[in-house]
Copies of this chain bind each other. A is one copy, B any other.
Amino acid sequence: MRHNERVRISAGLDYALRAMVELAAAIPAGRPVKGDEIAARQAIPYRFLAQLLAELRRAQLVCSGRGYAGGYWLAVPAEQITVADIARVIDGPLTDVHGMSPELFGPPGVAGPTRELWIAARAALRSVLEQVTIADLAAGTLPPAVAALLDDPDAWTRRPDPNPQRL
């Protein structure tokens, strides 16, 4: 039972999000940016990135053009694309409890309220990921409600690992 973190940002989501921020920040706005260029600027393996961008295209978040003047650009204004949108395309639903959607999860007996717990956890995560847009990220300014979470210095500290096996 090692190393199975809860908020797990996969390499795919990390790459896809950073690529989208590159597109949102392209100058002039809306210019097609080559996969190559994104990969180089963000240090992402090119082939892997191309796969991710293809998924984003099928989900209508980006457009692409082939050939000499090809590249990728946003299909929708950057203000309308949230981190949650990208996460759901790349990795599926934000939350699952042991392979199930939390609503469908019915823990027996006295453990019943764990269901509400996971729904609350999902709501908390949504309150960040559905509020932050790639326009916010490209501009470097998070929405006030999200930025407020960062005011507490405690948010920036790591917790110790309580598991003696992993020390």
Residue numbers of A with Cβ under 8 A of B are: 1-14, 17-18, 21-22, 25, 41-43, 51-52, 55, 58-59, 83-85, 87-99, 101, 103, 107-114, 116-129, 132, 136-138, 140-142, 146-147, 149-150, 152, 155-156, 158-159, 161-166
Listed A/B pairs (7) with beta-carbon separation below 8 Å: A6-B13, A21-B110, A55-B163, A84-B159, A89-B162, A117-B128, A123-B152
In the complex, chain B residues whose CB is within 8 Å of the CB of A113: 21, 136-137, 140-142
Knowing that A4-B12, A42-B111, A94-B159 touch, tell me 15 more A-B residue pairs with CB under 8 angstroms: A7-B122, A10-B98, A14-B98, A14-B107, A18-B108, A21-B114, A41-B109, A59-B162, A59-B164, A92-B163, A101-B158, A113-B136, A113-B137, A121-B129, A124-B125
Least CB distance from A57 to B in Å reads 10
